[in-house]
Amino acid sequence: MRNLYIIGGFLGSGKTTMISKFTQRLLKRGKRVGVIVNDFSTPLVDERYLTQIGAQIEQVSGECVCHTTAAVNEALDKMKDKDEIFLEPIGTHLDVASAILPEIILHTADLIVKPVVILVDGKKLNEILKKERWYILEFIFQQLQSADIIFVNKTDIMNKDEIEEITKFFEEKKAQFILGSAFNDMNTDELVELLEGRSNWSEKKFEKDDQALFIHYETYVKMQERMKWVNLYFTISADHTLITDKIVRILKGSLKDNSYLGHLKMMLISKEGYVKFNLTRWDEEPQIIGVYFDKREWKVIVNMRIEADGDLIEKALEALFYNLSSYKVNIINKEVIIPLLKWGKFVRQN
């Protein structure tokens, strides 16, 4: 029998970090691990990074897994030799479990589906609640309602007052939750115990309220259109610290004041190593991990999900490549995708 773990959550909630931590644990125990990654285009930073740490990766690109059960089943068929499989839906998914699990279970008899985990960035949720970004709250509330387990992530970078605020929020909703940090392995053991059935934790679903009613289809379409997807793929000859600094500084300088950042993921890959960079808010310190040597030839992948005017994004990208033009740069792919929905399917508008 194979285990399937669904790790969902809004943009920047820490899904890939959590999956990478679990993957490394399982690989050390001799397990064979597969991950199904999902986004609008390719190449994906998540796919390249999870491959580096030893997992088999299958991609579902161009649409949410919620709308393409056949693609998920095809990916699962390619992982018949894997013991543990993770499914990471796109950050703007809704109830991924009820959308795909019935058909998956019928298709794959040897699959044990583990409790659905929904991650939420505690610090960002506090900020969103105060600023009343209704379209983001709708997504987050919908995702939380599909959770068997709620993991409030990134509490290691929250102060005491922020933790008290988010704790009160979930307690008022009568939801059981775990406060922790995927990046620093804070309370992830408790989550593992739950997923492996070694806990006495009793499930309580996140309660519905007036703000968490079922989202009308047209409203969902409009929300998707607000969060644009930026995909860059190029090669460059320069020091990796210089590259990451320039890219982030230029994008931040161009976009910070007039945008909402879902996530900015970047990966630099050479023959000898890699550097992975992750940013989920403009004013935070980025997470940087990697295994690298002093090389100057890099393949660079940038995946960004952002709410901003399309012309503003294009100007930011023009400024970026203008400032990088003094180095040897070969742009392989540059696209700004406006996610649209048509008869339940995501389509690309470049």
What is the domain-level CATH number for residue 260? 3.30.70
- Domain of 92, in residue numbers: 2-214
Q: Of 349, 301, 342, 312, which Cα lies nearest the Cα of 47? A: 301
Confidence of residue 210 (pLDDT cuts 50, 70, 90): very low
Q: Are residues 150 and 254 in the same domain?
A: no
Q: Are residues 53 and 124 in the same domain?
A: yes
Distances (CA, A) of 175 to 6, 138, 271: 19, 17, 47
Q: Are residues 171 and 295 in the same domain?
A: no
Q: Are strands 2-9 and 117-121 parallel, antiparallel or unpaired?
A: parallel
For residue 285, pLDDT over 80 is answered with yes
Residue where a domain terminates, one of 190, 214, 238:
214
Q: Are residues 52 and 139 in the same domain?
A: yes
Backbone angles phi, psi at 30, to 5 degrees: 85, 10
Q: Region 65-78: what's the mean pLDDT?
A: 90
pTM: 0.90
Q: Distance between CA atoms of 209 and 118, rounded to whole angstroms? A: 18
Q: Region 85-111: what's the mean pLDDT?
A: 86
Q: Distance between CA atoms of 22 and 194, rounded to whole angstroms? A: 13
CATH of the domain at 150: 3.40.50.300
Confidence of residue 225 (pLDDT cuts 50, 70, 90): confident
Q: Of 44, 61, 46, which Cα lies nearest the Cα of 35? A: 46
In this structure, are residues 23 and 33 in contact, taking their beta carbons and an 8 Å threshold? Answer: yes
Q: Are residues 187 and 306 in the same domain?
A: no
Q: Are residues 120 and 233 in the same domain?
A: no
Question: Which stretches of 218-338 are assigned E, i.e. beta strand?
Answer: 227-237, 260-269, 274-279, 287-291, 297-307, 328-337
Q: Are residues 189 and 230 in the same domain?
A: no
Q: Are residues 75 and 158 in the same domain?
A: yes
Burial class (CB in 10 A: 0-12, 13-18, 19+), 133: middle
Q: What is the dihedral of CA 72, 76, 78, 80, to 10 degrees?
A: -170
Q: Of 185, 179, 132, 136, which Cα lies nearest the Cα of 158? A: 179
**Which pair of structure tokens corresponds to residue 298?**
């890099």
Q: Region 12-41: what's the mean pLDDT?
A: 95
Question: What single letter denotes the amino acid at residue 137?
Answer: L
Longest dimension (CA), the chain: 60
Residue where a domain terminates, one of 214, 246, 281:
214
Q: Are residues 228 and 210 in the same domain?
A: no
How high does pLDDT run on average in the chain?
Answer: 88
Confidence (pLDDT) at 212: 46
What lies within 8 Å, CB to CB, of 279 at 6+ separation is: 248, 261, 263, 264, 265, 286, 287
Q: Are residues 196 and 243 in the same domain?
A: no
Q: Are residues 305 and 175 in the same domain?
A: no
Q: What is the pLDDT of residues 44-54, one digit of tens each?
A: 999 999 999 99
Confidence of residue 36 (pLDDT cuts 50, 70, 90): very high
For residue 199, pLDDT over 90 is answered with no
Confidence (pLDDT) at 342: 52
Q: How many domains does the chain have?
A: 2
Considering only CA atoms, give the Rg of the chain. Answer: 20
Q: Are residues 183 and 244 in the same domain?
A: no
Q: Region 11-36: what's the mean pLDDT?
A: 96
Q: Distance between CA atoms of 143 and 30, rounded to whole angstroms? A: 32
